[in-house]
Amino acid sequence: MAVRAVRGAVQLERDEAGHMDEQVGALLTAVLERNSLSADDLISIWFTATPDLHSDFPAAAARKLGIVDVPLICAQELDIAGAMPRVVRILAHVESDRPRADISHVYLGAAAALRKDIAQ
């Protein structure tokens, strides 16, 4: 079993805790499903949020999905002029037998524009 990194992002429509839970939950669910993973395959997840998001910690959505025994951490993205607003990004470390080239990185909605080279 190899350790793999999976990237993903979602742009929120608004800065509200319930909306963040819904959208980050959808992102995490898509990452797991598209890579045939379960919560037991997760090693850790880094969450970042753009500086305009204040309503909640993105990691709270993972806990609400039942991901309770995986190390999670949140950080703030750099405040770069012209960057896409209201974005939550993830970097998940997972155990997987998939080759690196077969890992599906998930960029939902408008966030797909962030990484057209790897968004699936």
Q: Check whether 107 is labelled as a binding-site residue.
A: yes
Q: Any bridge partners for residue 108, and if so which? A: 10
Q: Check whether 89 is labelled as a binding-site residue.
A: yes
Task: Provide the residue type at 64 as one letter.
Answer: K
Dihedral pair phi/psi, residue 106, rounded to 5°: -115, 120
User: In terms of Cα–Cα distance, which of 76, 94, 77, 113 is closest to 28?
Assistant: 94
Q: Check whether 115 is labelled as a binding-site residue.
A: no
Binding-site residues for prephenate: 7, 89, 107
Binding-site residues: 7, 89, 107
